[in-house]
Amino acid sequence: MTTSTEPSPSTPPTSTSLPPTALKAARRILPPAVTGQERVLVVILVVLAVVLSVATPAFRTAGSWQPLLSSVAPIALMGVGMTMVIIAAGIDVSVGGALMVTAVTTAKLLVDQGASLPLALLAAAALGLVLGTVNGLLIAYGRVNAIIITFGTANLFQFLGRQIFASQTVNGIPGTLELFGRGEAGRTFGLPHSFLLTLLVAAAAWYWLRHSRPGRHLYAIGGDPTAARLAGIRVQRLTLMTYAVTGLLVGVAAVFTVASGTSTLDQSVGSGRELAVIAAVVIGGTSITGGRGSVLGTVLGALLVQTVASGTTQLGWPSQLSDFFVGVAIAIAVGADLVRQRTRRAR
Amino acid sequence: MEARLELKGVSKRYGGVRAIRHADLTVAPGTVHAVVGENGAGKSTLIKIVAGAESADTGTMAFEGAPVSFSTTQDALAHGIQTVYQEPQLFAELTVSENIFVGREIVRGGRVDWAAQHARVIELLDTIGLPARYATRPVGDLSIAEQQQVSIAKALAGNAKVLILDEPSAILTDAEIDVLFAVVRRLRDTGVSVIYISHRLDELFRICDEVTVMRDGETLGTWPIGELTVRKVVELMVGDALQEGGDGSTARSVPDGEPRLVLESLASEGHFDDVSVTVRPGEIVGLYGLVGSGVAEIAEVVYGMRQATGGRILLEGREISPKHPRAAQALGIALLPANRKAQGMFAFQPISFNITVSHLPLMSRARVWVDRRRETQVAKDMITRLAIKTPSEAQPISMMSGGNAQKVVLARQLVKRPRVLVLAEPTQGVDVGAKEEIHKIITALADEGTAVLVATSDLSEALRIADRLLIVRAGRTTREFPPGASQADVLAAAAGADEEVPA
């Protein structure tokens, strides 16, 4: 019988004390660590990197991939929050607008108040948290449709951002944020700090979604919110949390964005970023209908989206081709999800 | 012995409708207690009250001798009252193990203790007869029957003292029912009280210890199973056993003629296996079966919503196999679907749209644009013809009562006179007056020469409307009854007591 190889209830579940057979069984009882789609993404990324390296030798230089990783950081970071939102069958199309508000506020704080790095980071994160909480309250407790209300708040946030810009670019941003910038001070072992911090957050979120009680509950909410409520899950509270966390991460992403730019910030900041973020999440294998997904996929998706954009530029191809490739990738990802759901229903 | 659960003088109203007038229920520990009654007798309401999903208007409830009142399902769960509903409440993307523990995960140091959960899940799977390897499968990959077993395992994980099974066998095959019964017996032997709801009366004699019968919102009493037979239960359920179903006045004379619609050993895998029916022009043939007998799916196959996997459909002697509803429509087949809200209504659209939407070529000028005047005219004609109560044809259908909305959906099928009209549960959720009128409309259509096939799980309707009544049981047409058969005979045949019914 298979039961003999399973750990008995008295066996401590810590992996160090398990005999090899039980260890194997214990690993098998976890949700799969890496999904098929994520493996495919890794392969595509490797192939893409090799092809680009051969086609344009410039791609191999640090001057090429360092900015690439810097540009991945804010997308992937916001993607972490968006993954939680979409797993719980929600969506947030206001992250672009929220990024604009937090970025311009941060820039003004630096220029006008001479804020320090910790203060700027704290202020941006707090502001992002507030914006995300507004979305979350409306959706979780006001029970309004997520796509419509965040579309509304997106416009609202853009209006706020423009008011703060007051029709002018923010000039003379000091180098306070150089720790997250594109200069030498922004890197350790050649890797941008923004990217490293993003990886750290993503790893924590990945573990949390996989192993924590509330993390697993997000999947239940996305699967069937009514059944989740009947199972005693705090659906509203957790839903609110996903939007709040997304807002918080948008705030940090805004710091990265301000830090990685020049000393001026113009009104186009954040514009269209929500699409890049949602693209990364969907390409990463998170089901747009909820109930399924992982942060690892989102990080890979963000890498793919930005590599394609960077590669298209470096090959000297017209930039709209990058949109085309991303569009194809989304179509394939959604198609794969659809095929999976159909084959399951056909049983 | 002290009763595990005792309800006394319970009543419940929904608006003007009295779902339960007076119900008493006493369930002993370690027994399987059946609650039976016709549709609308008040079983589901009673179960909801026990499960905490509804609260009673009057009456008292005691659990293990102490008075209790549940205002939420959580209150009932806290007492160990677990309910397994007909539709599994599971999460397709989560594993069996996670589904069983969802909402009450074992947590160690902020982390779900997978190993501890897994060990317990394997025990539970063993109890309900599923292999241990199922623990790590996503629930969406399992069959419906397996999902139901998982639901039971989930209820057991919460240390059930009372387990309510709501029509557990309706979606199961015979082999799966054997497994279910084995599980139920094992639970009973460990002291769990099982409240068992089922329409299949033959089952009660295999699994139950006591039976409480409900009729018209009242409990008639509780009997040990040994004192009952299927026939006896049926008589209690329908009341006056001698009352004839057809009152004679509605007996129609059906013209002889070539059969218009013939189903020959029709099968649709997973739903029904062997259905043979003949309908002549002007004839109303009833198909009566319990929920889950496959009767609802037969209509869908004839209308092309579902594909047959065996047998033949003949329309006026010619074999047809409609691949989709449009093809069936073109052949002159019309359907009144069972689920009006999901399959029949465009809720926000006015009545006129709902009536004419399938017939836009008829309403159009040069087949290009819709002639509004003609659309309005057709809608007005239908409103008069079917006596639809509405201030105007521009009224949205969502604002109408069930009976009137059903008439509108029916009207859509009648704009062009159908050669064959198939109706599935034509008067479900419809009040008595409208029910009568819908039956009159159906009869009038048959008088005009349409062949009518009515699939229903409403016994009185089946008896009242059909010129001939065929019983569908376990996916097969079994017996045929003439008009005027007694309710008890028909119900006994459908519920599985052929051997006891005098031929």
Query: What percentage of chain A has pLDDT greater than the value 90?
Result: 46
Residue A299 has pLDDT above 90, yes or no: yes
Q: Which residue has the tokens 């997250």?
A: A180
CA dist A94 and B449 (Å) reads 61
What pLDDT score was predicted for residue B292?
67
Residue B502 has pLDDT above 80, yes or no: no
CA dist B299 and B433 (Å) reads 25
Q: Give whichever of A84-93, B354-363, B378-387, B486-495 has the largest mean pLDDT.
A: A84-93
Mutate which of B93, B120, B126 to disrupt the A interface (most A C-beta within 10 Å)?
A: B93
Q: Give whichever of A157-161, A316-320, B233-237, B242-246 has the largest mean pLDDT.
A: A157-161
A1 contact residues in B (CB cutoff 8 A): 132
Average pLDDT, chain A: 86
Q: Which residue of A has its CA nearest to B97?
A: A29
pLDDT average, residue stretch A159-175 = 86
Q: Nearest C-alpha of chain B: how many angstroms from A290?
A: 9
CB contact under 8 A, B115 and A13: yes
| 3 state SS of B496 | coil
Mutate which of A6, A24, A29, A35 to disrupt the B interface (most B C-beta within 10 Å)?
A: A29
Question: pLDDT-based confidence at B250, cuts 50/70/90?
Answer: low
Residue B235 has pLDDT above 50, yes or no: yes
B82 contact residues in A (CB cutoff 8 A): none
pLDDT average, residue stretch A50-63 = 84
CA dist B279 and B294 (Å) reads 19
Q: Which residue of B has its CA nearest to A226?
A: B89
Q: Which residue of B has its CA nearest to A10?
A: B116
Q: Which CATH architecture has domain A67-342?
A: Orthogonal Bundle (1.10)
B320 Cα distance to chain centroid: 29
CB contact under 8 A, A29 and B110: no
* Pair A90, A138: CB distance under 8 Å: no
Nearest-CB residue to A3 (from B107, B117, B122): B122
A21 vs B177: which has the higher pLDDT:
B177
Q: Nearest C-alpha of chain B: how many angstroms from A42?
A: 23
Report the predicted TM-score, pTM, of the whole model to 2 decimal places: 0.74
What pLDDT score was predicted for residue B200?
79
Average pLDDT, chain B: 83
The complex's ipTM works out to 0.79
pLDDT average, residue stretch B229-239 = 83
What pLDDT score was predicted for residue B137?
87
What pLDDT score was predicted for residue A6?
39
A72 vs A5: which has the higher pLDDT:
A72
Question: pLDDT-based confidence at B249, cuts 50/70/90?
Answer: very low
Question: pLDDT-based confidence at B474, cuts 50/70/90?
Answer: confident
What pLDDT score was predicted for residue A279?
93
Angle at A15 between CA A13 and CA A17, to 5 degrees: 85
B86 contact residues in A (CB cutoff 8 A): none
What pLDDT score was predicted for residue B246?
43
CB contact under 8 A, B94 and A223: yes
pLDDT average, residue stretch B292-318 = 86
What pLDDT score was predicted for residue B244?
44
- What's the pLDDT tens digit per position in A175-222? 778 788 777 778 888 889 999 999 999 999 999 999 999 999 999 999
Residue B244's beta-bridge partner residues? Answer: B486
Nearest-CB residue to A9 (from B90, B120, B141): B120
The H or E element containing residue A161 is: helix A146-165
- What's the pLDDT tens digit per position in B271-300? 888 999 999 998 999 998 876 677 878 888
Size of interface A-B (CB pairs under 8 A): 98
CB contact under 8 A, A13 and B93: no
CA dist B39 and B31 (Å) reads 25
Listed by start position, the domains of chain A span 67-342
CB contact under 8 A, B104 and A223: no
CA dist A282 and A79 (Å) reads 10
The H or E element containing residue B17 is: strand B17-27
- What's the pLDDT tens digit per position in B339-370? 776 677 787 788 888 888 777 777 776 667 77
A261 Cα distance to chain centroid: 20
Interface of chain B against chain A, CB under 8 Å? 73-74, 77, 89-95, 97-98, 102-105, 107-108, 110-120, 122, 126, 131-133, 135-136, 140-141, 143
Q: Which residue of A has its CA nearest to B98?
A: A216
Residue A171 has pLDDT above 90, yes or no: no
Integer CA distances (angstroms), B139 to A165, B123, B164, B353, in order: 52, 18, 22, 41
- What's the pLDDT tens digit per position in B396-434? 887 777 778 888 888 888 887 888 999 988 887 777 677
Q: Nearest C-alpha of chain B: how many angstroms from A116?
A: 35
| 3 state SS of A9 | coil
A11 contact residues in B (CB cutoff 8 A): 115, 119
Farthest CA pair distance, chain B: 80
- What's the pLDDT tens digit per position in A246-279? 999 999 999 999 988 777 888 888 888 999 999 9
Mutate which of B91, B96, B136, B147 to disrupt the A interface (most A C-beta within 10 Å)?
A: B91
What pLDDT score was predicted for residue B208?
93
Q: Which of A89, A41, A37 is nearest to A288 (CA)?
A: A89
B112 contact residues in A (CB cutoff 8 A): 211-213, 216
Q: Which residue of A has its CA nearest to B142?
A: A347
Domains detected in chain B: 5-238 (3.40.50.300), 258-332+417-497 (3.40.50.300), 342-415 (no CATH)
- Tokens representing A325? 């490739």
- What's the pLDDT tens digit per position in B65-85? 899 988 887 888 888 898 887
For chain B, what is the radius of gyration of the CA atoms?
Answer: 25
B116 contact residues in A (CB cutoff 8 A): 9, 13
- What's the pLDDT tens digit per position in B7-48? 999 998 887 677 889 999 999 999 999 999 877 788 888 988
What pLDDT score was predicted for residue A28?
62
Outline where B79-164 has alpha helix (H): 96-101, 114-128, 144-157
